[in-house]
Amino acid sequence: MNARLAKCVRCGQNYPLEILYTCPKCGGILDIQYDYNKVTELPGVPGHPGTRVGTSDAGNGSTIISQECDNRRNARFRELGSFQQTSTSRGLGIWEYSQLLPLEDLSHAVSLGEGQTPLIKCMKLGNHIGINNFYVKDETREPTGSFKDRPMAVAVSKARELRVETIVIASSGNAGASAAAYAARAGMRCFVFAPAVVPVGKLTQARMYGAKVVLVEGHYSNAYHLAFTVAKRRKWLNVTTTHLSPYPTEGDKTLAYEICEQMGWQVPDWVLIPIGAGPLLTGMYKGFAEYLNLGLIPTLPKLVGVQAVGCAPIVRAFEEGATTVRAWDAPKTVASGVSDPLVGYEQDGELTLERVRRSGGVAVSVTDEEILDAAVNLGNYEGIFSEPTGAVSVAGAAKLASRGIIRPSDTVVSVVTGAGLKETPVYTRIMGKLKAVPADITEVDGLIDSL
Ligand SMILES: *Cc1c(COP(=O)(O)O)cnc(C)c1O
Ligand SMILES: [Zn+2]
């Protein structure tokens, strides 16, 4: 393992890689440190033995590289431990990057085939919003339907390595469903604390994976604090994906690695990300920064944190030019996956804000109408069915393009973070109810002409 220890971003104190939350000394956020000069193998990187570049049969010795690559991958696949083996045609997913993940032994990995999602060039949608090179990183295709499978696969795998038996998570829906799925596979018990506004599809999904769901009145922060207290009292592992634990964020890094490789090592000008507390953004920042420091990319992309107007504590701070983030009063938005008022863990938002600024990016908020419009456009123009929260990054791109901040010639990637199938009731409301016609051709002809 190249991961060495966890370092407090505030006071600099180091900790061994055991069960960790925020810094016991000062309460700061912890960040995993690696021995980067020991990193020898990364997929797609020319010169690294694990490279995918050599797998194309281009002659000139590349078949030899390809053979070596396959051998390496097969060896790694065996390392994954027999009952966890999940074979996909796309390789080992996030475990291709095991040298930059905090697992001691790869055989502890709990996998459902997460990662290696498509990067889709969207010509028509790009045209519509005024961006010539517009891409969607399609996280709707993850095993449980959202990007949360990346942080959860890493967190649950680490939990398995540390012999944890019960995990608990506060979730706006997707993280709970994801934690439940990985816990099922790992043979752990899982408790999900969710605010009552979570779409029922996500809760049902978590329960189908065997998790016990506790619905809590009020907003997300209430569920957060209750999960925190319960975990502490009962000595269960809390895998909540804010910046509470340093492990889940490491899984988020793999999204950045994949984008670098899929863009052919041309760094996009902008990457747009829906943010609640923002670990996805800080994780992706770390991933890009690691690849920059490893000399694999020449610059960082500008990262854009996108929030809903109805819950935008980080955007408010960005616009005020502040470095501190104040909690949001009464969150209200159709984008329930990023409806996090940050009450009591404002520092999570502050780290996200700092990363946005350090990348040269911006934070921007979008209305529910803009979010739903973006979701409908993703479906109609590109055949991508996103949940409202997933489309927040596309609404953000449209907004920045209309303001001239993103220019038409810029290369832009929006991370579409979650699948629409979990939230069909919202869309049925927009589309209107269907009414059956009598099974009669005249009736059907009349109906067709009216559509
Ligand atoms: C959790 C979630 C986000 C936001 O992620 P954070 O990193 O927690 O801020 C974005 N989109 C979807 C669909 C989510 O479930
Ligand atoms: Zn500290």
* pLDDT tens digits, one per residue of 162-193: 999 999 999 999 999 999 999 999 999 999 99
Backbone φ and ψ of 444, nearest 5°: -65, -40
Ligand 1 contacts CB of residue 280 (under 6 A): yes
State the distance from the centre of ligand 1 to the C-alpha of 403, rounded, in angstroms.
Answer: 25
**Rounded average pLDDT over 50-54:** 40
- Look at residue 57 and tell me whether its pLDDT is greater than 90: no
pLDDT value, residue 70: 61
* Whether the model pTM is above 0.85: yes
**Rounded average pLDDT over 378-407:** 98
Average pLDDT, the chain: 91
**Rounded average pLDDT over 120-132:** 97
The ligand minimizing its distance to the Cα of 338 is: 1
Ligand 1 contacts CB of residue 420 (under 6 A): no
Name the DSSP letter for residue 28: P
Ligand 1, residue 387: give the atom nearest the CA.
Answer: 13
The ligand minimizing its distance to the Cα of 21 is: 2
State the distance from the centre of ligand 2 to the C-alpha of 30, rounded, in angstroms.
Answer: 8
Ligand 1, pocket-test mutation among 140, 147, 394, most atoms within 8 A of CB: 147
Q: How confident is the model at residue 43 (pLDDT cuts 50, 70, 90)?
A: confident
Q: Of 23, 154, 42, which Cα lies nearest the Cα of 99?
A: 42
β-strand partners of 139: none
pLDDT value, residue 293: 95
The pairing of strands 237-238 and 133-138 is unpaired
pLDDT value, residue 44: 82
Backbone φ and ψ of 431, nearest 5°: -75, -20
- How far is the C-alpha of 343 from the C-alpha of 224, rounded, in Å? 9
- How far is the C-alpha of 155 from the C-alpha of 149, rounded, in Å? 10
State the distance from the centre of ligand 1 to the C-alpha of 142, rounded, in angstroms.
Answer: 14
pLDDT value, residue 247: 97
The ligand minimizing its distance to the Cα of 386 is: 1
Ligand 1 contacts CB of residue 278 (under 6 A): yes
pLDDT value, residue 444: 95
pLDDT tens, 221-235? 999 999 999 999 999
pLDDT value, residue 127: 98
User: Residue 439 corresponds to which tokens in the numbers above?
Assistant: 């099974």
Ligand 1 contacts CB of residue 313 (under 6 A): no
pLDDT value, residue 369: 98
Look at 116-125, 307-316, 388-397, 430-439 and tell me which has the smallest mean pLDDT: 430-439
State the distance from the centre of ligand 1 to the C-alpha of 231, rounded, in angstroms.
Answer: 22
Ligand 1 contacts CB of residue 282 (under 6 A): no
Ligand 1 contacts CB of residue 375 (under 6 A): no
- How far is the C-alpha of 176 from the C-alpha of 206, rounded, in Å? 6
Burial class of 2 by CB neighbour count within 10 A (0 to 12, 13 to 18, 19+): middle
Ligand 1 contacts CB of residue 414 (under 6 A): no
- Look at residue 71 and tell me whether its pLDDT is greater than 90: no
**Rounded average pLDDT over 98-122:** 94
Ligand 1 contacts CB of residue 241 (under 6 A): yes
Q: Please list, in sequence order, all residues whose beta carbon lies within 8 angstroms of the beta carbon of residue 215, skipping any fewer than 6 positions away.
A: 194, 195, 196, 198, 203
Ligand 1, residue 278: give the atom nearest the CA.
Answer: 9
Q: How confident is the model at residue 41 (pLDDT cuts 50, 70, 90)?
A: confident
pLDDT value, residue 52: 42
- Look at residue 54 and tell me whether its pLDDT is greater than 90: no
pLDDT value, residue 45: 79
**Rounded average pLDDT over 64-93:** 62
Asked if 398 contacts 132 with a C-beta cutoff of 8 angstroms, the reply is no
Name the DSSP letter for residue 411: E
Ligand 1 contacts CB of residue 148 (under 6 A): yes
Ligand 1, residue 418: give the atom nearest the CA.
Answer: 13
Q: Of 312, 308, 315, 313, which Cα lies nearest the Cα of 335?
A: 308
The pairing of strands 237-238 and 363-366 is unpaired
Asked if 157 contacts 110 with a C-beta cutoff of 8 angstroms, the reply is yes
Ligand 1 contacts CB of residue 174 (under 6 A): yes
- How far is the C-alpha of 51 from the C-alpha of 54, rounded, in Å? 6
- Look at residue 67 and tell me whether its pLDDT is greater than 90: no
pLDDT value, residue 53: 36
The ligand minimizing its distance to the Cα of 20 is: 2
Asked if 325 contacts 295 with a C-beta cutoff of 8 angstroms, the reply is no
SS in 3 state form for 305-366? EEEECCECHHHHHHHHCCCCCCCCCCCCCCCHHHCCCCCCCHHHHHHHHHHHHHCCCCEEEE
Ligand 1, pocket-test mutation among 280, 304, 315, 353, most atoms within 8 A of CB: 280
The ligand minimizing its distance to the Cα of 31 is: 2
The ligand minimizing its distance to the Cα of 27 is: 2
Distance of CA 137 to the CA centre of its chain: 10
- How far is the C-alpha of 270 from the C-alpha of 397, rounded, in Å? 9
Asked if 233 contacts 387 with a C-beta cutoff of 8 angstroms, the reply is no
Ligand 1, pocket-test mutation among 29, 139, 148, 385, most atoms within 8 A of CB: 148
- Look at residue 47 and tell me whether its pLDDT is greater than 70: no
Q: Whose CA is nearest to atom 14 of ligand 1?
A: 337
- How far is the C-alpha of 194 from the C-alpha of 212, rounded, in Å? 11
| Helix/strand/coil for 232 | helix
pLDDT value, residue 269: 98
